[in-house]
Amino acid sequence: MSHIVHDLIARGDARVVELPTEATVRHQVEADRNFGLPTALYGATVGCYLAFLLIVGSAFANPVLAIPMAIFVLFIVAGFGIPTIWTRLAGNTSEPQTLGEFERRGIMTETGRLAPKDATIQVLILPVLLVVWGLAVAVIAAIVA
């Protein structure tokens, strides 16, 4: 790259300008701290994870499980709470899509635009399967006991 600049200077095609007196600091990367999905999908994901813990915790109610369940709840709250706080930091001008925008436009991914239905399925498949698995384990435990 510097070779090209030197050639421009040697030919006399380069233009030298004075540095502006009050240059603003320009960041090369825009601070976009959200993932573009509606907040409702994050809420549904957190709800499914907490529902799984509620189902398993109530199915296998034991005082010994109180501390591990509390730790799991703290991990889930921290895992979703810290990124939520992160999206509200100063300098973040972007906002997540509303449900209406999400239904109209979907979301852009690395491989192209994804329809809202497909994006919702991809986001919620693991949490919903986890809730179904918790219900199945609770039912099996109730039948065996």
Helices (H), the chain: 2-11, 39-59, 66-87, 99-105, 116-144
Q: How far apart are CA 116 and CA 45, in angstroms?
A: 16
* Alpha carbon 2 to its chain's center: 40
Q: How far apart are CA 65 and CA 58, in angstroms?
A: 10
Residue 23 scores a pLDDT above 80: no
Please answer whether residues 49 and 127 qualify as being in contact, where contact means their C-beta atoms are separated by less than 8 angstroms: yes
Residue 34 scores a pLDDT above 60: yes
Q: How would residue 63 be classed by pLDDT, with cut points 50, 70 and 90?
A: very high
Tokens representing residue 46 in the block: 């957190």
Model confidence pLDDT, tens digit, residues 89-105: 777 777 888 889 889 98
Q: Which residues contact 41 (CB under 8 A, 6 or more apart)?
A: 120, 123, 124
Residue 2 scores a pLDDT above 60: no
- How much is the average pLDDT of 47-56? 96
State the pLDDT at residue 128.
97
